[in-house]
Amino acid sequence: MPMNSNQNNFIVSPKQPYFVMATSRYYKAVVMNYGISHFYCFNNDIIGNSMIAVPDGCIDILFCCDEKEPYANICGTVLQPRVIPNKRNYYFGIRFLPGLTLTAKQTVMSDFVENEIPFLEVIEDQELFEKITTSRDFNYQIQEFMKMYMVLYQKSLASDKHLDLKNFMLKRINETAGQIKVNELAEQAGYSVRYINKVFTKEFGLPPKVFCKLMRFQYLLSNLNNFDKNIFDANLAQLSIELGYYDQSHMIRDFYELTNTTPGKYIHSLKEKEYNKRLIVL
Q: What does DSSP assign to residue 171?
A: H
Predicted confidence at residue 13, as pLDDT, reads 84
Q: Is the dihedral of CA 214, 13, 38, 47 positive or negative?
A: negative
What are 51-68's pLDDT values in tens digits?
A: 899 999 999 999 999 999
pLDDT band at 1 (very low <50, low <70, confident <90, very high): very low
Whole-angstrom distance, CA of residue 52 vs CA of residue 145: 25
State the pTM of this model.
0.90
| Torsion angle, alpha carbons of 20, 18, 1, 144, to 10 | 30
Residues 6+ apart with CB under 8 A from 142: 29, 39
Residue ranges and CATH numbers for the domains of the chain are: 7-159 (no CATH), 163-273 (1.10.10.60)
Q: Which of 89-98, 181-190, 205-214, 219-228 has the lowest mean pLDDT?
A: 219-228
Enclosing H/E stretch for 280: strand 279-281
pLDDT digits (tens, 9 = 90+) for 29-88: 999 999 999 999 998 776 556 789 999 999 999 999 999 999 999 999 999 999 987 678
SS3 198: helix
Task: Collapse the DSSP code of 217 into the 3-class scheme (helix H, G, I; strand E, B; otherwise coil) and give the result.
Answer: helix
